[in-house]
A and B are shown apart, each in its own frame.
Chain A
Amino acid sequence: MYLTDLIPMNCASNSDSVAFTAISIPSDTGEARKVQEEIESQLQARQVTEKEIFSVRLALEEALVNAIKHGNQMDRSKKVHIAYRFLGDRLEITITDEGPGFDPLDVPDPTAVENLERPCGRGLMLMRHYMSEVNYNETGNSVLMSKVFRGANGKK
């Protein structure tokens, strides 16, 4: 059932044929790292700038840590479901945890003066900055992120 949630509805009409690579991992940052490395190695093989790899790596790190730590509360019996695909110059990733979800609007603005000294709450902000698109499902336990790469023609 998860995958139906994961498939983005707003992508190009002829893109349905490109299958997602789907992986489920226990709530373990070591396992998450393997997935990150896999996606990264696929990025390396494409016309993607170092800066774009930096962006995806950081956003992926933040999203996976959120899913493992905040979503699944580090409960190893709960899984994190990752699905990703490349569509032309675009990468789509969905990360879904088995937690109760959250409302992204409830996350206080970490750049507000009164919150500046709070040691958390910056992950979501970094994801939004570094990816082209970041959307949560209604429950708030699944995030769809996409990144359009301009490396091939746009130069750095």
Chain B
Amino acid sequence: MSSSPPPARRRRLEVESIGDITVVNFVDRKILDEQNIQIIGEQLFSLVDEDGKKKLLLNFSNVEYLSSAALGKLITLNKKVSSAGGRLILCNISEDILEVFEITKLDKFFKIMRDEQSALQAF
């Protein structure tokens, strides 16, 4: 609790603002490791809970792998954004990862856009 954060707790997200939209890129190419997913989840949640961001765009262009635990974090994030009256959009999802969303039917649950430009316009 009082100990200093582990070195893994470095920033996992690159966050920039385009107008009132918060664009998030992932530093990791593989969002698999449990501890990693935990940290990514916390950093995503804090954008909503602490920074009060309402329009979130997650850009997956850097991401090659994604496990079901990461999907769980995205679902929780979506709930947080929705209950804050905001909107979550995902974009630039590779073909392989899109299949993971399709198998789990989450492609219907999330708003997914092909690229960042069209996603920005979809808010």
**Given A51-B96, A119-B75: A29 in contact with B35 (beta carbons within 8 A):** yes
Interface centre among A54, A69, A110, A119 (most CB of B within 10 A): A119
Q: Are A33 and B33 touching (Cβ within 8 A)?
A: yes
Q: Are B71 and A122 touching (Cβ within 8 A)?
A: yes
Determine the chain B residues whose CB is within 8 A of the CB of A110 once the complex forms: 104-105
Main secondary structure of the interface of B (DSSP, over half): helix
Determine the chain B residues whose CB is within 8 A of the CB of A83 once the complex forms: none
What residue of chain A has the Cβ atom nearest to residue B67's Cβ?
A: A61
B40-93, CB < 8 A from A: 65, 67-69, 71-73, 75-76, 79
Q: Are A119 and B104 touching (Cβ within 8 A)?
A: no
Q: Are B65 and A54 touching (Cβ within 8 A)?
A: yes
Give the distance in Å from the alpha carbon of A101 to the alpha carbon of B69 in the complex: 20
Q: Are B69 and A65 touching (Cβ within 8 A)?
A: yes
* Interface hit among A12-20, A87-95, A123-131, A140-148: A123-131
Interface size class for chain B? 20 to 34
Q: Are B104 and A54 touching (Cβ within 8 A)?
A: no
Give the distance in Å from the alpha carbon of A142 to the alpha carbon of B34 in the complex: 21
Asked whether any CB of chain B lies closer than 8 Å to the CB of A78, the reply is no
Total number of A residues with any Cβ neighbor in B under 8 Å: 22
Residue of A58, A111, A116, A129 near B67 (CB, 8 A) is A58
What residue of chain B has the Cβ atom nearest to residue A111's Cβ?
A: B105
Asked whether any CB of chain B lies closer than 8 Å to the CB of A106, the reply is no
Asked whether any CB of chain B lies closer than 8 Å to the CB of A62, the reply is yes
Q: Are B75 and A61 touching (Cβ within 8 A)?
A: no
A112-126, CB < 8 A from B: 116-120, 122-123, 125-126
Asked whether any CB of chain B lies closer than 8 Å to the CB of A57, the reply is yes
B35 to chain A, nearest CB (A): 7
B97 to chain A, nearest CB (A): 9
What residue of chain B has the Cβ atom nearest to residue A113's Cβ?
A: B105
**Given A29-B33, A111-B104, A116-B109: A122 in contact with B68 (beta carbons within 8 A):** yes
B contact residues vs A (CB 8 Å cutoff): 32-35, 65, 67-69, 71-73, 75-76, 79, 96, 100, 103-106, 109
A-B contacts, 7 of them at CB < 8 A, read A51-B96, A58-B100, A62-B68, A111-B104, A119-B72, A120-B72, A123-B68
A contact residues vs B (CB 8 Å cutoff): 29, 33, 51, 54, 57-58, 61-62, 65, 69, 110-111, 116-120, 122-123, 125-126, 129
